[in-house]
Each structure stands twice: as structure tokens, then as C-alpha cells.
Structure 1
Amino acid sequence: MLGVYGGTFNPVHYGHLRTAFEVKEFFRLHEIRLIPCRIPAHREAPAVSAELRLQLLQLAIAGLQGWIADRREIDRPGPSYMVDTLASLHDEFPEQSIVLFMGADAFEGIETWHRWADLFLFAHVVVMTRPGYKTGMLSSKLASKITDDADRLRCTRGGTLYFHDVTPLAISSSKIRRLIAAGCDPKFLMPDAVIQAIYQHNLYQQTGP
């Protein structure tokens, strides 16, 4: 079973890493692929290059078995559409169930995504939620895909929607960027190796996306 966790990772932090760890353990994933996007489709492009964001991600997960920093969106030209990423993984791993993980904020806008309905052709979608999270009104297309049986995700290659509580950590990349730009120390918000690389490359020293 293969997990997919995408985002800008601008920069990666313990909020990303803890949620990735929890879903990897709960769903007994063979591996989890953290995939930094090259050109976000729904937000301003980060000022820090995709290659540098990938390097920070590689430092953050170095030595962790079953964790992969996947560069396929960086190498693909044009906007980083998740449906294209899932399609490529679906072809590359024909025997694997694929699970796409996303936060509740991202899920609430999922129907604005490029070819969003086709995501379910290639993967299951797991929404990582805070305890007590309640879904709003869902379209019939989404509501029909909901399951509360986690084992079902292992038995089929895609097509279902599952909500899973994770430990809420009030950490965000934007807050970290502001801290660094203000000259504050982001220690304990991200791995030390990532912090060292940020200062080595003089990243996030000024406010920006």
C-alpha cells in the first residue's frame, strides 16, 4: 500500500512529518512518498525553488525507512496537477493500492482541482482531520465515495473517501517563514538539519511566499 502526500513543503516542518508518520503507521503503508510540487495550481509559486524545497525534504526524512522524497512533479513541466501524479504512480505500481493524503482545508476545495473526479480512478483519498471535525455539505459525487472501513482501502486500488483524525499541531510553513524573516529561531518546529540548510542557503530571510 503506497501513500502519497503532496504540497509545496515551503519549508517542510514537524506538522507535515508527524501527520505523515501517523498515517503511515495506521494504514500500514509499505512506503509514503512526499511530493513537492513545482508550480502550485491553486496558489502563488514559492519564492524558494522546487529543487531547494526538495533538498530540505530529503534532509528531513533522511534515514527513515519507507519514506521517499519523490521529485516527479519537479521534473514534469507545467502546473503540478495531482491527477497527473497519481496517474503516473498508478502506472508505475500496478499491483499497489494508492492512498492520497490531504488536509481538511485542501479537501474543502477539492472540487476546484484539475480533473478532480479522476483522482478516485487512481487512488483512495484520505482527509487528515482534527478530532471532532465535521464535514460540511458534500456533493453527491463525494458523499457516495465515503467509507468508514479502513481495510477497504487495502483491497481495492482506489475510489473511496475516508476521514482520519491526526494529532493537531498548530505549525504552518507561512508562520515559520515569518519567524525566520523576523530573525527568530524556528528550533523545535522542524528538524535541525533543515534549519541548518535554511541558514546555509540564506532562505526565508525576507518575507514572501
Structure 2
Amino acid sequence: MRIGILGGTFDPIHFGHIRPALEAKQQLGLDKVWLMPNHIPPHKTATSVSTQHRVEMTQLICDQYAEFKLCDIEVKRETPSYLVTTLEQITQSHPNDEFYFIMGMDSLVNLTSWYKWQSLFNLCHLVVCQRQGWNLAPDNAIADEYQIRLSSPEAIAERKSGLIIPIQVTPQAYSSTNIRQQLAQQILPTDALPNIITEYIKDKKLY
């Protein structure tokens, strides 16, 4: 199977996560996209709500969209979750599957700061969603690697890992930070959140 993985704090999960993941699945012909909440993310400060709430919200989305499946491997870990460690575990337990890690261009430009980032190419393909205001400068530390590994969605059949695949996705004007700010002011950003998430937040009195 071809499996996409979208990781994040999902604090809360919103259409800025959901719609690009659906578009990536369609463009790459993926069989499934795993939504993978972090527990202790190495690159961010503490989350606003508990891991349990973030997992439950993610599960609600997976229940609503057949394209998604919850991957809880990182929430079970009591140490910071480095992607390379996670992918090593996943590829060992799913040796016959291909994995496509979905990220934004903002993550790619900082990839060399990630733990053992070079090893990621032995474990998966990187799918890079273009984001407004973010471009890969020629002098960026990842630029040479990008040129070597650059591929199109149509040319990925021959390799199980190691490619960087840029895709165009519909821009989403949502961020978890802005959504949390609105929720703190008792504003429900219904255009950014699926109804099922809005109802969960109201019911649990989150944010």
C-alpha cells in the first residue's frame, strides 16, 4: 500500500490540515493517509490541550473521512518524538508498504535542523505542499538535496523511498494559533473547523 502520513499537534485539527491531506492523497494515488498526533513534539512548546483531547479530535475526523486513519504511535511515547525514530518503527512493522510524509514548504526549508534528517530518505518519500510566502532559496542547506531528489507525482513508481515530491494544494487561510486565539475570545471559527470538532470543543469546554 501507498500510505501518506501527516503529523502535527492538531491543536485543534482543522481544514488547514484536512484539505491538503485529501488533495495529496488524490494527486499521489495514496491508499490511505495516516493522521499522526504528536505527544511531545521536539520543535514546539507545550500544547494547549491534553494529548487525549487531541487524539480524540483526530479520531473524530478519521471516523468522518474514510480516507484517513489514526496513527497513535507517537502519543504512546513518553519521550520527544523524532520523525526518523517513528518511521523506523513503522517501516519495520509494515515492510511491504510505501510511506509518503506530507509536510509544508516551511518545514522543508528547516529540514536540516531535524534529528538525523538524512536518514529520512531511506524510510519514506517527502511530499512538500507549497505554501504562500515560503520558497526554497538557492543557498538553503537542503537545496542541493532537493535538486537531486526532486520528482513529480507521475514519476514515483520505481522507488520506494528517497524522493522529494512537491505538490500544489489549495491555499488554506487557517492556522491553529489563530483558531485558538478566536476560541479564547469565544468566537467559533466555523469556516475553519468541521462541525464535529466545533461541537467537541464546545462540549469539552476547550481553549
- Give the TM-score of the pair, scaled to structure 1: 0.91
SS state at 2:190 partner: coil
Cα contact 1:97–1:155 (8 A) shared by 2: no
Q: State which of 199, 203, 206 in structure 2 corresponds to 1:196.
A: 199
The answer to whether the aligner puts 1:166 opposite 2:164 as a matched pair is: no
Structure-2-length-normalised TM-score: 0.92
The 1:113–1:16 alpha-carbon spacing in structure 2 relative to 1, beyond 3 Å, is same
Paired position in structure 2 for 1:104: 105
Is 1:79 aligned to residue 63 of structure 2? no
2:61, 2:123 → 1: CA distance? 28
Could you list the runs of 5+ residues in structure 2 that have no partner in the other structure? none
> Which residue of the partner structure matches residue 150 of structure 2?
147
Cross-structure match for 2:7? 6
| Structure 2 partner of 1:180 | 183
Distance of aligned partners of 1:156 and 1:20 in 2 relative to their CA distance in 1, 3 Å threshold: same
Shift, 1:4, TM fit: 0.7
- Contact in 1 for aligned 2:35/2:70 (Cα 8 Å): yes
Does residue 15 in structure 1 map to residue 44 in structure 2? no
List runs of 5+ in structure 1 lacking aligned partners.
Answer: 205-209
Give the deviation of 1:133 after TM superposition. 6.1
Contact 2:5 2:35 in 1 (8 A): yes
Residue matched to 1:59: 60
Shift of 1:131: 7.2
Q: Give, in whole Å, the separation in 1 of the partners of 2:90 and 2:148.
A: 21
The aligned residue for residue 121 of structure 1 is 122
* Identity between Structure 1 and Structure 2 (%): 30
Shift of 1:42: 0.8
Number of residue pairs the alignment of both structures matches: 204
